[in-house]
Amino acid sequence: MQERRYLTRFAWLSIATAVITIALKASAYLLTGSIGLLSDALESGVNLVTAVLALIILTVAARPPDDEHAYGHDKAEYFSGGVEGTLILIAAGTIIVSAVGSFFNPRPLEQLGVGLGVSVVAALCNWVTSRVLLRAGEEHDSMTLTAGARHLLADVWTSGGVVVAVAIVALTGWQPLDPLIAIAVALLILRSGLHLLRQAISGLMDSSLPPSELAQVINILEKYSSQKVQYHALRTRKSGSRRFVTVHIQVPGAWSVQKGHGLLEEIERDLRQALPPVSVITHLEPVEDPVSWQDIPLNRDA
């Protein structure tokens, strides 16, 4: 849990970066009057809200299990992804409304050189922070940090597109290109928001472990399988960074409790070493008893 509390440092980094980029991008918009740059500034506003939310969520997720939450608080990270995805969708809608209005009532852009320079500096800030968050998110298996990193990285690409588009407007004088680029940015943001929502919903629905991790679990179980030892009723799920595995192990009924228990301890040890952190629950059954085979379906009737 101490390791999870350490992750809040990255949330503070996100907050600081969001405040800086909002100031820079808002300045770029005020200098130029570009709707494209305004759309970029609005997305940074979403970044600030989600960074504050990430700080709260990471603090909650780091709490140890208690009487009311015996499995811990890791699943709180999925709420962060869901809220962030929703806010991104709202930001995308706001950008589209502003862009449509600007398309029918365009106004000349001003001080483009300074405005674009400021926007480039803001994009560089986001890029550096996104790389730090992505590395930390992958290392600590944190959906909150990974989602924040991907969002910031998408922001970098959209900022680049906006800068190029506004530069083209400056060179050609074709004003409608500015709101059109803003709409394109909004559609990219919309895609990012939908992706985050799908991830959050998948986590809240207790989906099984990813195929690569599930294959590791099966390989370990197969290592212990033989004519005498079999397994079934394997169930897996993931909550934040923590994995959960339950499985029924069948052994000869003539085995002593101590011998069966020793086998389960070996299996659980291998699973904990392969996929930390993981909570493993095993159930011992006599292989000769027909009742032992009635729980193969995922939902066993009582």
Predicted local confidence at residue 219, as pLDDT: 95
173 and 224 assigned to the same domain: no
pLDDT at 107: 64
pLDDT score, position 302: 37
Q: Write down the pLDDT at residue 285.
A: 92
What was the pLDDT predicted at 5?
A: 60
Q: Could you write out the DSSP letters of every residue in the chain?
A: -HHHHHTHHHHHHHHHHHHHHHHHHHHHHHHH--HHHHHHHHHHHHHHHHHHHHHHHHHHHTSPP-SS-TT-STTHHHHHHHHHHHHHHHHHHHHHHHHHHHHHS------HHHHHHHHHHHHHHHHHHHHHHHHHHHHHT-HHHHHHHHHHHHHHHHHHHHHHHHHHHHHH--TTHHHHHHHHHHHHHHHHHHHHHHHHHHHHTTPPPPHHHHHHHHHHHHHH-SSS-EEEEEEEEEETTEEEEEEEEEE-TTS-HHHHHHHHHHHHHHHHHHSSSEEEEEEEEETT-GGGGTT-SSS---
pTM more than 0.75: no
Q: What is the CATH number of the domain that holds 85?
A: 1.20.1510.10
**For residue 234, what are the CA distances in angstroms to 134, 179, 219, 244, 274?**
32, 53, 13, 11, 17
Candidates 145, 118, 175; CA nearest to 61 is 145
- Of 138, 172, 204, which residue sits at a domain end? 204
Count how many domains the chain has: 2
The reply to whether 196 and 257 lie within a common domain is no
CA distance 1 to 93: 38
Per-residue model confidence (pLDDT) at position 111: 62
The residue out of 180, 204, 228 marking a domain boundary is 204
| Residue numbers of the chain with a pLDDT score lower than 50 | 1-2, 298-302
Q: Are residues 153 and 217 in the same domain?
A: no
Q: Could you tell me the CATH number of the domain that includes residue 251?
A: 3.30.70.1350
pLDDT score at 301: 42
Same domain, 275 and 142: no
Rounded to the nearest 10 degrees, what angle do helices 76-104 and 177-204 cross at? 160
266 and 247 assigned to the same domain: yes
> Does one domain contain both 222 and 185?
no
Do residues 133 and 238 share a domain?
no
Q: How far apart are CA 93 and CA 89, in angstroms?
A: 6
Residue 300 domain flag: no
Largest CA distance in the chain: 87
Domain that holds residue 253: 211-293
At how many degrees (to 10) do helices 112-140 and 143-172 cross? 160
Looking at 204, 223, 253, which one is the last position of a domain?
A: 204
Flag whether 164 is in a domain: yes
1, 64 in Cβ contact below 8 A? yes
* Chain CA centroid to CA 70, Å: 23
